Structure 1
Amino acid sequence: MDGAGTATPRRGNGMPEKRRAITAAARVVFGREGYARATLDAIATEAGVSKRTIYNHFTDKDELFRLVALEGADEVTDTIHALMERHLRKILDLEEDLVAFGVDRVRAVFDFPDHYALVRVLQAEVTRLPAATLETWRLAGPATAHLRLAPYLRAIADRGLLAFADADQAANHFNLLTITDVLQRSFYGAIPLTETEIDTVVGQGVAAFLRVYGA
Protein backbone atom coordinates (compact mmCIF):
# COMPACT_ATOMS: atom_id res chain seq x y z
CA MET A 1 0.00 0.00 0.00
CA ASP A 2 2.98 2.34 0.41
CA GLY A 3 2.76 5.04 -2.19
CA ALA A 4 -0.51 3.75 -3.60
CA GLY A 5 -2.51 6.51 -1.95
CA THR A 6 -0.74 9.14 -4.05
CA ALA A 7 -0.96 7.42 -7.42
CA THR A 8 -3.08 9.15 -10.05
CA PRO A 9 -5.86 6.97 -11.48
CA ARG A 10 -4.87 6.12 -15.03
CA ARG A 11 -6.98 5.38 -18.10
CA GLY A 12 -5.36 2.06 -18.79
CA ASN A 13 -4.85 0.62 -22.26
CA GLY A 14 -7.77 -1.76 -22.63
CA MET A 15 -11.27 -1.38 -24.02
CA PRO A 16 -13.34 1.45 -22.46
CA GLU A 17 -16.35 -0.81 -21.90
CA LYS A 18 -14.24 -3.16 -19.81
CA ARG A 19 -12.98 -0.27 -17.72
CA ARG A 20 -16.58 0.84 -17.14
CA ALA A 21 -17.53 -2.71 -16.18
CA ILE A 22 -14.65 -2.83 -13.69
CA THR A 23 -15.55 0.47 -12.01
CA ALA A 24 -19.24 -0.45 -11.84
CA ALA A 25 -18.38 -3.81 -10.31
CA ALA A 26 -15.91 -2.23 -7.89
CA ARG A 27 -18.57 0.18 -6.66
CA VAL A 28 -20.89 -2.74 -5.93
CA VAL A 29 -18.26 -4.94 -4.28
CA PHE A 30 -16.72 -2.18 -2.15
CA GLY A 31 -20.18 -1.10 -1.03
CA ARG A 32 -21.16 -4.67 -0.16
CA GLU A 33 -17.92 -5.99 1.33
CA GLY A 34 -16.21 -2.87 2.59
CA TYR A 35 -12.72 -1.73 1.67
CA ALA A 36 -10.67 -4.17 3.75
CA ARG A 37 -12.61 -7.31 2.80
CA ALA A 38 -13.09 -6.53 -0.89
CA THR A 39 -10.67 -8.30 -3.22
CA LEU A 40 -9.71 -7.80 -6.83
CA ASP A 41 -10.76 -11.40 -7.45
CA ALA A 42 -14.30 -10.59 -6.28
CA ILE A 43 -14.37 -7.43 -8.40
CA ALA A 44 -13.15 -9.35 -11.44
CA THR A 45 -15.89 -11.94 -10.95
CA GLU A 46 -18.55 -9.22 -10.56
CA ALA A 47 -17.29 -7.46 -13.70
CA GLY A 48 -16.96 -10.64 -15.76
CA VAL A 49 -13.30 -9.99 -16.52
CA SER A 50 -9.99 -11.48 -15.50
CA LYS A 51 -7.93 -10.13 -12.65
CA ARG A 52 -5.20 -9.38 -15.19
CA THR A 53 -7.65 -7.12 -17.04
CA ILE A 54 -8.09 -5.08 -13.87
CA TYR A 55 -4.33 -4.66 -13.63
CA ASN A 56 -4.32 -3.44 -17.24
CA HIS A 57 -6.35 -0.45 -16.05
CA PHE A 58 -5.46 0.07 -12.39
CA THR A 59 -2.33 -0.23 -10.28
CA ASP A 60 -4.02 -1.84 -7.28
CA LYS A 61 -7.10 -1.90 -5.06
CA ASP A 62 -6.30 1.48 -3.52
CA GLU A 63 -6.27 3.22 -6.87
CA LEU A 64 -9.50 1.52 -7.94
CA PHE A 65 -11.28 2.44 -4.71
CA ARG A 66 -10.15 6.04 -4.96
CA LEU A 67 -11.33 6.31 -8.55
CA VAL A 68 -14.83 4.92 -7.95
CA ALA A 69 -15.24 7.09 -4.83
CA LEU A 70 -14.26 10.20 -6.77
CA GLU A 71 -16.40 9.28 -9.77
CA GLY A 72 -19.38 8.91 -7.46
CA ALA A 73 -18.64 12.24 -5.79
CA ASP A 74 -18.42 13.91 -9.20
CA GLU A 75 -21.76 12.44 -10.28
CA VAL A 76 -23.47 13.67 -7.12
CA THR A 77 -21.82 17.09 -7.45
CA ASP A 78 -23.00 17.44 -11.05
CA THR A 79 -26.55 16.51 -10.04
CA ILE A 80 -26.60 19.03 -7.19
CA HIS A 81 -25.20 21.73 -9.47
CA ALA A 82 -28.11 21.16 -11.83
CA LEU A 83 -30.52 21.44 -8.89
CA MET A 84 -28.93 24.72 -7.77
CA GLU A 85 -29.28 26.07 -11.30
CA ARG A 86 -32.93 25.01 -11.42
CA HIS A 87 -34.01 26.29 -8.01
CA LEU A 88 -31.62 29.05 -6.98
CA ARG A 89 -30.74 30.90 -10.18
CA LYS A 90 -34.13 32.65 -10.38
CA ILE A 91 -35.83 33.20 -7.04
CA LEU A 92 -39.58 33.82 -7.02
CA ASP A 93 -40.40 32.92 -3.42
CA LEU A 94 -37.25 32.55 -1.33
CA GLU A 95 -38.53 30.10 1.27
CA GLU A 96 -40.38 27.95 -1.27
CA ASP A 97 -37.40 27.86 -3.61
CA LEU A 98 -34.95 26.99 -0.83
CA VAL A 99 -37.26 24.21 0.39
CA ALA A 100 -37.70 22.86 -3.15
CA PHE A 101 -33.93 22.80 -3.63
CA GLY A 102 -33.38 21.15 -0.26
CA VAL A 103 -36.00 18.47 -0.87
CA ASP A 104 -34.70 17.65 -4.35
CA ARG A 105 -31.13 17.49 -3.04
CA VAL A 106 -32.21 15.06 -0.32
CA ARG A 107 -33.96 12.87 -2.87
CA ALA A 108 -30.74 12.81 -4.88
CA VAL A 109 -29.09 11.00 -1.96
CA PHE A 110 -31.39 8.05 -2.53
CA ASP A 111 -30.78 8.19 -6.30
CA PHE A 112 -27.13 7.17 -5.81
CA PRO A 113 -27.31 4.09 -3.56
CA ASP A 114 -24.01 2.59 -4.72
CA HIS A 115 -22.13 5.84 -4.10
CA TYR A 116 -23.54 6.31 -0.62
CA ALA A 117 -22.75 2.69 0.18
CA LEU A 118 -19.15 3.70 -0.52
CA VAL A 119 -19.58 6.74 1.71
CA ARG A 120 -20.65 4.42 4.52
CA VAL A 121 -17.51 2.37 3.89
CA LEU A 122 -15.42 5.53 4.12
CA GLN A 123 -17.09 6.38 7.42
CA ALA A 124 -16.75 2.88 8.88
CA GLU A 125 -13.21 2.09 7.70
CA VAL A 126 -11.59 5.49 7.92
CA THR A 127 -8.55 4.15 9.80
CA ARG A 128 -7.89 1.48 7.14
CA LEU A 129 -7.99 3.76 4.11
CA PRO A 130 -4.97 5.55 2.64
CA ALA A 131 -4.84 9.12 3.97
CA ALA A 132 -4.45 10.56 0.47
CA THR A 133 -7.60 8.76 -0.67
CA LEU A 134 -9.61 10.16 2.23
CA GLU A 135 -8.36 13.69 1.71
CA THR A 136 -8.93 13.64 -2.05
CA TRP A 137 -12.49 12.37 -1.58
CA ARG A 138 -13.19 14.84 1.24
CA LEU A 139 -12.15 17.80 -0.90
CA ALA A 140 -14.15 16.52 -3.87
CA GLY A 141 -17.35 16.19 -1.85
CA PRO A 142 -18.34 17.00 1.72
CA ALA A 143 -15.61 19.47 2.64
CA THR A 144 -16.36 21.77 -0.29
CA ALA A 145 -20.13 21.38 -0.74
CA HIS A 146 -20.81 24.73 0.94
CA LEU A 147 -18.32 26.46 -1.36
CA ARG A 148 -20.37 25.41 -4.38
CA LEU A 149 -23.58 26.69 -2.77
CA ALA A 150 -22.12 29.98 -1.54
CA PRO A 151 -22.17 31.87 -4.91
CA TYR A 152 -25.89 31.22 -5.26
CA LEU A 153 -26.60 32.52 -1.77
CA ARG A 154 -24.37 35.53 -2.45
CA ALA A 155 -26.39 36.34 -5.59
CA ILE A 156 -29.61 36.05 -3.58
CA ALA A 157 -28.17 38.38 -0.94
CA ASP A 158 -27.25 40.87 -3.66
CA ARG A 159 -30.99 41.09 -4.38
CA GLY A 160 -31.61 42.03 -0.77
CA LEU A 161 -33.28 38.72 0.16
CA LEU A 162 -30.56 37.43 2.50
CA ALA A 163 -28.15 39.18 4.82
CA PHE A 164 -24.77 37.82 5.93
CA ALA A 165 -21.14 38.81 6.17
CA ASP A 166 -19.75 35.47 5.02
CA ALA A 167 -21.45 33.55 2.20
CA ASP A 168 -19.35 30.43 2.80
CA GLN A 169 -20.42 30.31 6.43
CA ALA A 170 -24.07 30.86 5.52
CA ALA A 171 -23.90 28.06 2.97
CA ASN A 172 -22.32 25.75 5.52
CA HIS A 173 -25.12 26.50 7.98
CA PHE A 174 -27.74 25.84 5.29
CA ASN A 175 -26.19 22.44 4.60
CA LEU A 176 -26.01 21.57 8.29
CA LEU A 177 -29.68 22.42 8.77
CA THR A 178 -30.92 20.46 5.75
CA ILE A 179 -28.85 17.82 3.97
CA THR A 180 -26.51 16.95 6.87
CA ASP A 181 -29.46 16.26 9.14
CA VAL A 182 -31.00 13.94 6.56
CA LEU A 183 -27.72 12.10 5.93
CA GLN A 184 -27.39 11.40 9.63
CA ARG A 185 -31.02 10.30 10.06
CA SER A 186 -30.84 8.00 7.05
CA PHE A 187 -27.32 6.73 7.78
CA TYR A 188 -26.18 8.06 4.42
CA GLY A 189 -29.09 6.65 2.47
CA ALA A 190 -29.19 3.22 4.11
CA ILE A 191 -32.57 3.81 5.76
CA PRO A 192 -35.23 5.37 3.53
CA LEU A 193 -37.10 8.40 4.80
CA THR A 194 -40.73 9.11 4.00
CA GLU A 195 -41.70 12.13 1.94
CA THR A 196 -43.24 13.62 5.08
CA GLU A 197 -40.00 13.17 7.02
CA ILE A 198 -37.98 14.76 4.23
CA ASP A 199 -40.38 17.70 3.90
CA THR A 200 -40.35 18.24 7.67
CA VAL A 201 -36.57 18.15 8.07
CA VAL A 202 -35.91 20.42 5.11
CA GLY A 203 -38.79 22.78 5.90
CA GLN A 204 -37.71 23.22 9.50
CA GLY A 205 -34.09 23.63 8.45
CA VAL A 206 -34.91 26.33 5.89
CA ALA A 207 -37.12 28.15 8.40
CA ALA A 208 -34.27 28.16 10.92
CA PHE A 209 -31.84 29.34 8.25
CA LEU A 210 -34.09 32.24 7.30
CA ARG A 211 -34.56 33.27 10.92
CA VAL A 212 -30.82 33.86 11.04
CA TYR A 213 -30.05 35.03 7.51
CA GLY A 214 -33.33 36.39 6.16
CA ALA A 215 -33.07 40.06 5.22
Structure 2
Amino acid sequence: MSPTGRPEKRRAIERAARKVFGRDGYTRASVDAIAAEAQVSKRTIYNHFTDKEQLFLSVALDGAQEVTDAIARQMELHLRKIVDLEEDLVAFSRDRVATVTQFPDHFALVRALEAEVTRIPPPVLEKWLAAGPQSAHLRLAPYLRGLADRGLLAIDDAEQAAQHLNLLTVTSVLQRTFYGSIPMPAEEADEIITSGVRAFLRLYAPTGQRSGLVDRQ
Protein backbone atom coordinates (compact mmCIF):
# COMPACT_ATOMS: atom_id res chain seq x y z
CA MET A 1 0.00 0.00 0.00
CA SER A 2 1.28 3.46 -0.84
CA PRO A 3 2.19 5.67 2.16
CA THR A 4 -0.29 8.19 0.85
CA GLY A 5 -2.99 5.62 0.16
CA ARG A 6 -4.74 6.15 3.48
CA PRO A 7 -3.44 9.41 4.99
CA GLU A 8 -5.76 9.27 8.01
CA LYS A 9 -4.28 5.91 9.01
CA ARG A 10 -0.75 7.19 8.52
CA ARG A 11 -1.48 10.21 10.71
CA ALA A 12 -2.86 7.95 13.44
CA ILE A 13 0.31 5.84 13.32
CA GLU A 14 2.52 8.93 13.52
CA ARG A 15 0.59 10.36 16.47
CA ALA A 16 0.86 7.06 18.29
CA ALA A 17 4.55 6.69 17.47
CA ARG A 18 5.34 10.18 18.74
CA LYS A 19 3.63 9.36 22.03
CA VAL A 20 5.27 5.95 22.44
CA PHE A 21 8.76 7.13 21.45
CA GLY A 22 8.44 10.07 23.83
CA ARG A 23 7.31 7.79 26.66
CA ASP A 24 9.56 4.75 26.11
CA GLY A 25 12.51 6.14 24.14
CA TYR A 26 13.82 4.90 20.81
CA THR A 27 15.40 1.67 22.00
CA ARG A 28 12.59 0.41 24.23
CA ALA A 29 9.69 1.49 22.01
CA SER A 30 8.29 -1.42 20.05
CA VAL A 31 6.23 -1.56 16.89
CA ASP A 32 3.76 -3.68 18.87
CA ALA A 33 3.26 -0.86 21.38
CA ILE A 34 2.86 1.69 18.60
CA ALA A 35 0.32 -0.52 16.84
CA ALA A 36 -1.66 -0.89 20.06
CA GLU A 37 -1.61 2.86 20.68
CA ALA A 38 -2.73 3.58 17.10
CA GLN A 39 -5.27 0.75 17.21
CA VAL A 40 -3.92 -0.75 14.00
CA SER A 41 -2.09 -3.95 13.15
CA LYS A 42 1.69 -4.22 12.82
CA ARG A 43 1.12 -5.05 9.17
CA THR A 44 -0.60 -1.72 8.69
CA ILE A 45 2.41 0.07 10.15
CA TYR A 46 4.78 -1.78 7.84
CA ASN A 47 2.55 -0.88 4.89
CA HIS A 48 3.39 2.75 5.61
CA PHE A 49 6.90 2.57 7.06
CA THR A 50 9.83 0.31 6.25
CA ASP A 51 10.93 -0.17 9.85
CA LYS A 52 11.05 1.45 13.27
CA GLU A 53 13.98 3.65 12.25
CA GLN A 54 12.07 5.17 9.36
CA LEU A 55 9.00 5.70 11.55
CA PHE A 56 11.06 7.41 14.25
CA LEU A 57 12.75 9.65 11.71
CA SER A 58 9.42 10.56 10.16
CA VAL A 59 7.79 11.64 13.40
CA ALA A 60 10.92 13.40 14.67
CA LEU A 61 11.34 15.44 11.49
CA ASP A 62 7.62 16.17 11.13
CA GLY A 63 7.50 17.41 14.71
CA ALA A 64 10.63 19.51 14.17
CA GLN A 65 9.03 21.07 11.09
CA GLU A 66 5.85 21.94 13.02
CA VAL A 67 7.92 23.65 15.71
CA THR A 68 10.07 25.39 13.10
CA ASP A 69 6.95 26.74 11.37
CA ALA A 70 5.60 28.04 14.69
CA ILE A 71 8.89 29.78 15.48
CA ALA A 72 9.01 31.26 11.98
CA ARG A 73 5.65 32.90 12.64
CA GLN A 74 6.97 34.23 15.93
CA MET A 75 10.03 35.73 14.25
CA GLU A 76 7.84 37.46 11.67
CA LEU A 77 5.57 38.79 14.42
CA HIS A 78 8.27 40.08 16.77
CA LEU A 79 11.42 40.68 14.73
CA ARG A 80 10.27 42.02 11.38
CA LYS A 81 8.91 45.35 12.63
CA ILE A 82 10.68 46.60 15.74
CA VAL A 83 9.01 49.03 18.14
CA ASP A 84 11.25 48.57 21.18
CA LEU A 85 14.18 46.21 20.61
CA GLU A 86 14.46 44.90 24.16
CA GLU A 87 10.72 44.41 24.56
CA ASP A 88 10.41 42.72 21.17
CA LEU A 89 13.29 40.34 21.88
CA VAL A 90 11.77 39.48 25.26
CA ALA A 91 8.34 38.87 23.69
CA PHE A 92 9.87 36.67 20.99
CA SER A 93 11.85 34.62 23.52
CA ARG A 94 8.79 34.28 25.76
CA ASP A 95 6.76 32.91 22.84
CA ARG A 96 9.54 30.50 21.93
CA VAL A 97 9.58 29.10 25.45
CA ALA A 98 5.79 28.72 25.31
CA THR A 99 6.18 26.62 22.16
CA VAL A 100 7.21 23.72 24.39
CA THR A 101 3.73 23.59 25.92
CA GLN A 102 2.11 23.76 22.48
CA PHE A 103 3.91 20.63 21.25
CA PRO A 104 4.29 18.44 24.37
CA ASP A 105 4.53 15.10 22.53
CA HIS A 106 7.26 16.40 20.25
CA PHE A 107 9.36 17.72 23.13
CA ALA A 108 8.89 14.46 25.03
CA LEU A 109 10.44 12.83 21.98
CA VAL A 110 13.26 15.41 22.06
CA ARG A 111 14.00 14.45 25.67
CA ALA A 112 14.04 10.78 24.73
CA LEU A 113 16.31 11.43 21.76
CA GLU A 114 18.83 13.40 23.80
CA ALA A 115 18.83 10.75 26.54
CA GLU A 116 19.59 8.01 24.01
CA VAL A 117 21.78 9.96 21.63
CA THR A 118 24.52 7.29 21.56
CA ARG A 119 21.97 4.62 20.56
CA ILE A 120 20.21 6.57 17.82
CA PRO A 121 21.20 5.36 14.31
CA PRO A 122 23.71 7.88 12.88
CA PRO A 123 21.65 8.70 9.73
CA VAL A 124 18.67 9.55 11.95
CA LEU A 125 20.80 11.69 14.25
CA GLU A 126 22.37 13.58 11.35
CA LYS A 127 19.00 14.45 9.86
CA TRP A 128 17.65 15.43 13.26
CA LEU A 129 20.58 17.77 13.89
CA ALA A 130 19.89 19.47 10.56
CA ALA A 131 16.19 19.97 11.29
CA GLY A 132 15.94 20.10 15.08
CA PRO A 133 16.66 22.66 17.79
CA GLN A 134 20.41 22.60 17.19
CA SER A 135 19.90 24.44 13.89
CA ALA A 136 17.46 27.06 15.23
CA HIS A 137 20.15 29.75 15.21
CA LEU A 138 20.49 29.41 11.43
CA ARG A 139 16.88 30.54 10.96
CA LEU A 140 17.20 33.34 13.50
CA ALA A 141 20.44 34.73 12.08
CA PRO A 142 18.92 36.57 9.06
CA TYR A 143 16.59 38.51 11.35
CA LEU A 144 19.47 39.62 13.54
CA ARG A 145 21.46 40.55 10.44
CA GLY A 146 18.50 42.66 9.34
CA LEU A 147 18.45 44.43 12.70
CA ALA A 148 22.18 45.09 12.37
CA ASP A 149 21.66 46.51 8.88
CA ARG A 150 19.17 48.95 10.40
CA GLY A 151 21.71 50.03 13.01
CA LEU A 152 19.90 48.41 15.93
CA LEU A 153 22.63 45.85 16.63
CA ALA A 154 26.38 45.67 16.07
CA ILE A 155 27.04 42.18 14.68
CA ASP A 156 29.96 40.65 12.81
CA ASP A 157 28.71 37.04 12.82
CA ALA A 158 24.91 36.77 12.78
CA GLU A 159 24.88 33.01 13.36
CA GLN A 160 27.06 33.35 16.44
CA ALA A 161 24.89 36.19 17.72
CA ALA A 162 21.79 34.02 17.21
CA GLN A 163 23.41 31.22 19.19
CA HIS A 164 24.16 33.66 22.01
CA LEU A 165 20.58 34.95 22.09
CA ASN A 166 19.21 31.40 22.17
CA LEU A 167 21.61 30.30 24.93
CA LEU A 168 20.95 33.34 27.11
CA THR A 169 17.16 33.09 26.89
CA VAL A 170 15.29 30.10 25.49
CA THR A 171 17.92 27.41 26.02
CA SER A 172 18.48 28.56 29.58
CA VAL A 173 14.79 28.08 30.42
CA LEU A 174 14.37 24.83 28.48
CA GLN A 175 17.40 23.20 30.09
CA ARG A 176 16.17 24.07 33.58
CA THR A 177 12.70 22.72 32.84
CA PHE A 178 13.94 19.73 30.82
CA TYR A 179 11.91 20.88 27.82
CA GLY A 180 8.81 21.63 29.84
CA SER A 181 8.69 18.45 31.93
CA ILE A 182 9.37 20.35 35.18
CA PRO A 183 7.11 23.41 35.62
CA MET A 184 8.73 26.80 36.15
CA PRO A 185 6.78 29.82 37.42
CA ALA A 186 6.13 32.31 34.63
CA GLU A 187 7.77 35.12 36.59
CA GLU A 188 10.97 33.08 36.98
CA ALA A 189 11.07 32.30 33.27
CA ASP A 190 10.47 35.98 32.50
CA GLU A 191 13.35 36.96 34.76
CA ILE A 192 15.71 34.57 32.96
CA ILE A 193 14.54 35.79 29.56
CA THR A 194 14.70 39.49 30.43
CA SER A 195 18.15 39.28 31.99
CA GLY A 196 19.31 37.17 29.04
CA VAL A 197 18.07 39.72 26.51
CA ARG A 198 19.77 42.52 28.41
CA ALA A 199 23.03 40.57 28.49
CA PHE A 200 22.66 39.97 24.74
CA LEU A 201 22.14 43.67 24.12
CA ARG A 202 25.20 44.55 26.20
CA LEU A 203 27.16 42.33 23.84
CA TYR A 204 25.62 43.49 20.59
CA ALA A 205 24.09 46.93 21.02
CA PRO A 206 25.75 49.69 18.96
CA THR A 207 28.53 51.34 20.93
CA GLY A 208 26.63 54.55 21.65
CA GLN A 209 23.75 52.65 23.26
CA ARG A 210 25.68 50.36 25.59
CA SER A 211 26.13 52.76 28.49
CA GLY A 212 22.37 53.22 28.75
CA LEU A 213 21.88 49.46 28.84
CA VAL A 214 24.39 49.08 31.65
CA ASP A 215 22.62 51.81 33.65
CA ARG A 216 19.34 49.88 33.43
CA GLN A 217 20.73 46.78 35.15
User: What's the offset of the Cα at 1:74?
Assistant: 0.4
Asked whether 1:107 is paired with 2:98, we answer yes
Residue 110 of structure 2 is matched in structure 1 by 119
User: What's the offset of the Cα at 1:14?
Assistant: 3.5
Residue 161 of structure 1 is matched in structure 2 by 152
For residue 80 of structure 1, the aligned residue among 71, 76, 93 is 71
Q: Under a length normalisation based on structure 1, what TM-score does the superposition of the two structures give?
A: 0.93
SS of the equivalent of 1:192 reads coil
Q: Is the 8 A contact 2:2 2:47 kept in 1?
A: no
Residue 42 of structure 2 is matched in structure 1 by 51
For residue 211 of structure 1, the aligned residue among 202, 205, 209 is 202
Name segments (4+ residues, structure 1) moved above 2 Å.
none
The alignment's C-alpha RMSD in Å is: 1.2
**Residues in 1 aligned to 2:21 and 2:12: alpha-carbon distance in whole angstroms:** 14
Q: Is the 8 A contact 1:13 1:56 kept in 2?
A: no
**Residues in 2 aligned to 1:128 and 1:144: alpha-carbon distance in whole angstroms:** 21
Q: Is the 8 A contact 2:154 2:205 kept in 1?
A: yes
SS of the equivalent of 2:183 reads coil
SS of the equivalent of 1:35 reads helix
Aligned length: 206
User: What's the offset of the Cα at 1:159?
Assistant: 1.1
SS of the equivalent of 2:61 reads helix
* Higher-helix-fraction structure: 2
User: What's the offset of the Cα at 1:142?
Assistant: 2.3
Asked whether 1:26 is paired with 2:17, we answer yes
**Residues in 2 aligned to 1:14 and 1:191: alpha-carbon distance in whole angstroms:** 40
**Residues in 1 aligned to 2:194 and 2:148: alpha-carbon distance in whole angstroms:** 20
Residue 196 of structure 1 is matched in structure 2 by 187
Q: Is the 8 A contact 1:14 1:56 kept in 2?
A: no
Q: Is the 8 A contact 1:106 1:179 kept in 2?
A: yes
Q: Under a length normalisation based on structure 2, what TM-score does the superposition of the two structures give?
A: 0.92
**Residues in 2 aligned to 1:95 and 1:154: alpha-carbon distance in whole angstroms:** 16
Asked whether 1:12 is paired with 2:22, we answer no
SS of the equivalent of 2:27 reads coil
5+ residue gaps in structure 2? Answer: 207-217
Q: Percent identity?
A: 67
User: What's the offset of the Cα at 1:11?
Assistant: 6.1
Q: Is the 8 A contact 1:84 1:149 kept in 2?
A: yes
For residue 81 of structure 2, the aligned residue among 68, 71, 90 is 90
